[in-house]
Amino acid sequence: MEPSTATVRQLVPTTEMLESRRFQLPMERARRVLFSPVQLNSILPVETDERRGGGNFCHPVLAEPTMVPDHNGPRRGRSATITSVAGPSHISSGRESPTGTRRFHPPDRLETLRLRFTESGVSEDASALILSATRKNTNAAYQSAWNFWRNWCATREKDPLSPSSADIINFLAEYSVGRSYRTVNVARSALSSTLAVNPGNVAVGADPLVNKLLKGLYNKSPPTARYSQTWNPDTVLSYFDSTAGATLSLLELSRKLVTLLALCTLLRTCELSSISLESIVISDSKMSFSLSQPRKAQHSGPLHRISVDAWRLNVSICPVKCLETYLDRTAALRDTTNSSSLLLSSNKPHGPASVATIGRWIKEQLKIAGIDTSIFSAHSTRGAAASKAVLSGIPIQTVLDAGHWARESTFKQFYHREVVNGPTNLITSSVLQPPSI
């Protein structure tokens, strides 16, 4: 039986049909790729991604209702304003954000907190004060831990500001591999202070499982003292004595001054950098000065004022004389940009010396004097000077006050060490000492 004329027309397209389809196919492709204002035809099949679940379109942006306007929306040649889409709408974390979309968190931890404060209705002035509660060096250490935490959450599609207790525990366990107890404890503190902006979150520091994990890490690899012994300050002082009378360059004079101040005041490098020039008072018997910022462990009270006695028995190691020489040498280098800082860079334009520069000066001076700087850093001046003071019979409380240590246990655990080349055992020395005739 031969097909009818109507059936032939359905099977064999006419020239008009081919011409029409040739112009229609590009438009159909455009509807599937571009954000067309034309609504989907219910007759045409809708492609879905079964792995995502539900009936979402395979392109995550097309699943947003604001991205598929009706035919009253913008025409060709006009672009729709897209403000509500911050990223894919699907998040596999256990706790969804309030809007149901993945939140954007800047890489900078402080900026993340600032944005969260703004969303909570906290003013900019209040946010600045809250963020100022953490010191600069602490923020730097927390930022390093935050980078690891943020990347860890990103690979698992979790919101770093809304984690579960299990997320924090799993992260700290993975983070502890190859790292010391102190480093992991810093990460725990960084998470605790950052996640505190969410009232619904359990405080990281109060989570019993987190505390158990840290105790387990402590038992598995307890922290050890960086130094088992310390160097004798007499080695450096003897070097200064041997170079007495020599003409020192500005760099050499800067090294000598910061090393003497570090030994005589037990100040840290960050505290040395904050000595206020205008606060310096010099007399025949001593000098005194104030710091322009609180000391590292200071959380209340006025700024500290430090006094240093002159050492007239040996002018070559007198910190007061060295300071007077330094002030005379740098007087012509001071202007409005560096008039508030005592210590200036030895290179032009002679701006205020940074903490890193002061630390490098001290370490270079120790190396020149014969101290093994592959073991001892600039910070070791605190422990070396304090240990010698205790060995000389200075009351322990006086040493604690000078070094601004709140507890004797902290000083003994981290700073008090046996002094190399000094008397290590008074009993042994008294027994072995030959009798006097």
| Domain extent listing, the chain | 15-85, 109-220, 236-378
pLDDT of 260 reads 94
Give the residue among 136, 140, 132 at the shortest CA–CA distance from 190.
140
pLDDT of 143 reads 92
- Look at residue 51 and tell me whether its pLDDT is greater than 50: no
CATH number assigned to the domain with residue range 236-378, chosen from the 4 options 3.40.50.620, 1.10.443.10, 3.30.420.40, 2.60.40.420: 1.10.443.10
Percentage of residues of the chain with pLDDT beyond 90: 28
- Look at residue 29 and tell me whether its pLDDT is greater than 60: no
Q: CA-CA distance, 39 to 122, in Å (whole number)?
A: 42
Asked if 169 contacts 188 with a C-beta cutoff of 8 angstroms, the reply is no
Order of strands, sheet of 286-290, starting from the edge strand that comes earlier in the sequence: 281-282, 286-290, 305-309
pLDDT of 212 reads 92
- Look at residue 316 and tell me whether its pLDDT is greater than 70: yes
More confident position, 246 or 23: 246
Domain 109-220 has CATH 1.10.150.130: yes
How does pLDDT run across 407-422, given as a tens digit for each residue? 766 666 656 665 655 4
- Look at residue 344 and tell me whether its pLDDT is greater than 90: yes
How does pLDDT run across 138-178, given as a tens digit for each residue? 888 899 999 999 999 999 988 888 888 899 999 999 999 98
pLDDT of 2 reads 53
pLDDT of 39 reads 44
- Which pTM value belongs to this model? 0.59
| Residues 6 or more apart in contact with residue 304 via CB below 8 angstroms | 290, 291, 294, 295, 298, 404
- Look at residue 94 and tell me whether its pLDDT is greater than 90: no
Lowest mean pLDDT among 94-98, 171-175, 280-284, 388-392: 94-98
Asked if 323 contacts 330 with a C-beta cutoff of 8 angstroms, the reply is no
pLDDT of 201 reads 58
Mean pLDDT along residues 56-79: 41
Lowest mean pLDDT among 55-59, 377-381, 407-411: 55-59
| Residues 6 or more apart in contact with residue 247 via CB below 8 angstroms | none
pLDDT of 418 reads 58
- Look at residue 4 and tell me whether its pLDDT is greater than 50: yes
